[in-house]
Amino acid sequence: MILESFANPNPERDYRIEMRCPEFTCLCPKTGQPDFAEIHISYIPDQLCVELKSLKLYLWSFRDQGAFHEAVTNRILDDLVAAVSPRYLAVSGQFFVRGGITTTVTVE
């Protein structure tokens, strides 16, 4: 899935864009069972901003993929950096309870 972008309307100014994606799903690579998470993205754009519909479709593309929480959170960050080269970016995956354990992975 391709992450699309558009020109930052105010590249001369630092400002933060924050997105909350509460419907993220992927599959546990060991059991094949679904994992559910809320993904938080916070970034300061440089020349480009990420287009939201493409972000939604990109995140949906993980629905049938097996991925450890740590790997998928890092991949989202890497893919966003490759797409828009922000001045700053943090991605946090808050994975819901499974077997009595919740996991939060944050990468910058």
Q: Which of 21, 35, 49, 64 is an active site residue?
A: 35
Q: Which of 28, 49, 64, 78 is an active site residue?
A: 28
Which pair of structure tokens corresponds to residue 69?
């929480």
Active site residue 35: yes
Active site residue 49: no
Torsion angle defined by CA atoms of residues 21, 76, 18 and 40, in that order, rounded to the nearest 10 degrees? 50
Q: Cβ(48)–Cβ(3) under 8 Å? A: no
Query: Which residues are annotated as catalytic?
Result: 28, 35
